[in-house]
Amino acid sequence: MDLTVPSPTPTPTRRTARPGGRAHPPPAAHGRPPAAPPGGPPSVHHALVGVALPGLAVSPEHGQLTGHGLEGVYQSGRRLLSRCHLRVFGREPVPVQSRQVSASRARFVALVRTPADPGPDPGVAVERSRDADGSERITLRNATGRPLRVPVELTLATDLSALAAIASGRPGPELRPSVHGSGLRWSAPSGGQSVVTAEPPPKDALASTGLLRWELDVDAGAARTIALHVHAGRPLRPAARSSGRILSDAQAEGDDPRAARLLATALDDLRSLLVRDPAHPADLHLAAGVPWRTGPAPAEALWAARMLLPLGTRLAADTLRGVARSLDGATGPSAGRVPGPLRDAGPHLPPACTGVEATLAFPAVLAEARLWGLPEQDLAELLPVAERCLAWLCAAVDDDGLVAEPGPAAGVRRAETQAHAHRAALLGADLLEACGRDGADAWRDRAHAIRHHFRESFWLDDPTGGRPAAALTADGRPLPHLGCAAAHLLDTGLVGGGGHARGLLDKLQTEQVARLLGSPALDTGWGLRGLGTKEPGHNPFGHRAGAVRVHETAVAVVGLAAAGYEREATGLVRGLLDAAETFAYRLPEMYGGDQRAEGGAPVPHPSACRPAAVAAAAAVHVLTALAGIRPDVPAGTVALHPLGGAPLGALRLSGLCVAGEPFAVRVSRMGLGMVEEAAAGLQLGV
Secondary structure letter of residue 234 according to DSSP: S
Averaged over 259-272, what is the pLDDT? 97
What are the φ and ψ backbone dihedral angles of 449, each rounded to 5 degrees? Answer: -65, -40
For the chain, count helices (H), then strands (E): 12, 37
Cβ(477)–Cβ(498) below 8 Å: no
With a cut of 60, say whether residue 27 has pLDDT above it: no
With a cut of 50, say whether residue 13 has pLDDT above it: no
Q: What pLDDT does residue 40 have?
A: 60
Averaged over 328-342, what is the pLDDT? 84
Q: What is the pLDDT of residues 118-153, one digit of tens each?
A: 888 999 999 999 999 999 999 999 999 899 999 999
With a cut of 50, say whether residue 113 has pLDDT above it: yes
Averaged over 255-275, what is the pLDDT? 97
Cβ(312)–Cβ(660) below 8 Å: yes
For residue 200, is the peptide bond before it cis, meaning its omega torsion is within 30 degrees of 0? yes
User: Measured between alpha carbons, how far is residue 560 from residues 384, 492, 538, 568 in Å?
Assistant: 33, 11, 24, 7
For residue 291, is the peptide bond before it cis, meaning its omega torsion is within 30 degrees of 0? yes
Cβ(329)–Cβ(345) below 8 Å: no
Q: What pLDDT does residue 236 have?
A: 80
Give the pLDDT band (50/70/90) at residue 23: very low
Q: What is the pLDDT of residues 75-84, one digit of tens each?
A: 999 999 999 9
Averaged over 370-379, what is the pLDDT? 98
**Burial class of residue 204 in the structure, from the number of CB atoms within 10 Å of its CB (0-12 exposed, 13-18 middle, 19+ buried):** exposed
Beta partners for residue 137, in sequence order? 129, 227
- CA 502 to chain centroid, in Å, comes to 30
Q: What is the pLDDT of residues 436-485, one digit of tens each?
A: 999 999 999 999 999 999 999 999 999 999 999 999 999 999 999 999 99
Averaged over 252-256, what is the pLDDT? 97
Which residues lie closer than 8 Å to 337 by C-beta, 6 or more apart?
327, 330, 355, 356, 359, 389, 392, 396, 406
Q: What is the pLDDT of residues 300-318, one digit of tens each?
A: 999 999 999 999 999 999 9
Average pLDDT, whole number, for the chain? 91
With a cut of 70, say whether residue 414 has pLDDT above it: yes
With a cut of 50, say whether residue 651 has pLDDT above it: yes
Question: Helices 376-396 & 415-434, crossing angle to 10 degrees?
Answer: 140
Could you give the percent of the chain with pLDDT greater than 70?
93
Q: What is the pLDDT of residues 78-110, one digit of tens each?
A: 999 999 999 999 999 999 999 999 999 999 999
Task: Look up residue 650 and give its amino acid.
Answer: A
Element (H, E) at 49: strand 48-52
With a cut of 70, say whether residue 34 has pLDDT above it: no
Q: CB 142: neighbour CB atoms within 10 A? A: 22
Structure-model confidence comparison of residues 176 and 235, the more confident one: 176
Please count the CA atoms within 13 angstroms of the CA of 525 that sit on its side-chain side.
Answer: 10
Averaged over 386-393, what is the pLDDT? 97
With a cut of 70, say whether residue 35 has pLDDT above it: no
Q: Measured between alpha carbons, how far is 264 from 434 in angstroms, rounded to an integer? A: 35
Q: What pLDDT does residue 238 have?
A: 85
Tell me which residue of 299, 293, 334, 340 sits closest to 320, measured CA to CA.
Answer: 299
Cβ(674)–Cβ(656) below 8 Å: no
Q: What is the pLDDT of residues 652-668, one digit of tens each?
A: 999 999 999 999 999 99
Cβ(411)–Cβ(351) below 8 Å: no
What is the three-class DSSP state of 377? helix
Q: What pLDDT does residue 21 have?
A: 36
